[in-house]
Amino acid sequence: MIQVCFVSGDNLVYRKNNGSWQSAVTVATGSGYMSPMIAADTGNNPAIVPLGPWVKNGYHILSKWNGSAWASPKLIGYGQYANVAIDANNKAHIVWSFKKDNT
Model confidence over 47-57: pLDDT tens digits? 998 887 655 55
3-state SS, residue 3:
strand
Strand order from edge to edge, sheet including 11-17: 2-8, 11-17, 25-29
Span 1-26, pLDDT tens digits: 999 999 998 888 999 999 999 999 99
Helix (H) or strand (E) holding 14: strand 11-17
Q: CB of 99 within 8 A of CB of 80?
A: yes
